[in-house]
Structure 1
Amino acid sequence: MENTHRDERDIFELLKEELAFVEQGGYGRSVRTPWLPKSAFQDSLACLNYADTDHAHACSECRLMNFVEEEHQSENVPCHYIPLNEAGETIEDLEAQDNQAKLEATLKQWMRTKIKEIEQTRATPEARHNRQTEAVA
């Protein structure tokens, strides 16, 4: 049975937590299962279905879908099709290259860029006013 609740997590906090996770080696191989590679986003708390073998949540509920181009939103793992740099490389592309260091460096740079963009957007007087209005409501 598929759950239809939208991911209510703040995208800014989600990206900051994911960046910290990656910087602390979160995508490194597990001591228990070193033969199994970790999958970016899927093997972290960023994923609504993390550690849920039933996959109770549709990917369409995830906040990361805001970054997935429309033509890739129906992919099996849509967040792996987020363009991460000017060349348009995605997690899918980088995992195929089998270069974990490049994948992590590219992903970290993308998250830093998105975090900075969100900070700048939220720093505008209009954005501050909207957040204050939402807090009162």
Structure 2
Amino acid sequence: MLRAHEANLRLMAADRVLEHLGLRTRLFAAPGWLVSPGVRTALPANGFRLLADLHGITDLVRLTTVRARVLGIGEGFLAEPWWCRMVVMSAERIARRGGVVRIAVAARHLRKSGPLQAMLDAVDLAMLQGCTPMVYRWRADAAVLDAA
């Protein structure tokens, strides 16, 4: 767990590198989707406006959170057949109930037919229930927006 001071130093350094590369962003999604309290404290001070973590999407300017957990395969999540089925069924259930469906997959797992098909099925079923694919974004004129 990073304390606020160390998190601040790391965020400043990473932000400068990304800016130098032309990839600066105001969105923060931590590795493994887990964010320490220190990082959460340091993000607004470094100009970040949106935090995507394991359990939701937080607007750091308005201090509002949309609860929406990540359904994932690989990189901290399982990739077993039963887990892939759970991801598909959960995506469909969340979409049917009008929720925000967030899916994540480690790219190396897309070489395997099971995880690849699970991701495609999760997206298809969510869209059949009326979900619209979106990317994370922060808008000055709106509250936290859905993500896909």
Specify which structure has the higher proportion of strand.
2
Ranked by relative contact order (alpha carbons within 8 Å, sequence separation 6 or more), the top structure is 1
TM-score range, shorter chain: under 0.3
Specify which structure has the higher proportion of helix.
1
> What TM-score do the two structures reach when normalised by structure 1?
0.27
> What TM-score do the two structures reach when normalised by structure 2?
0.26
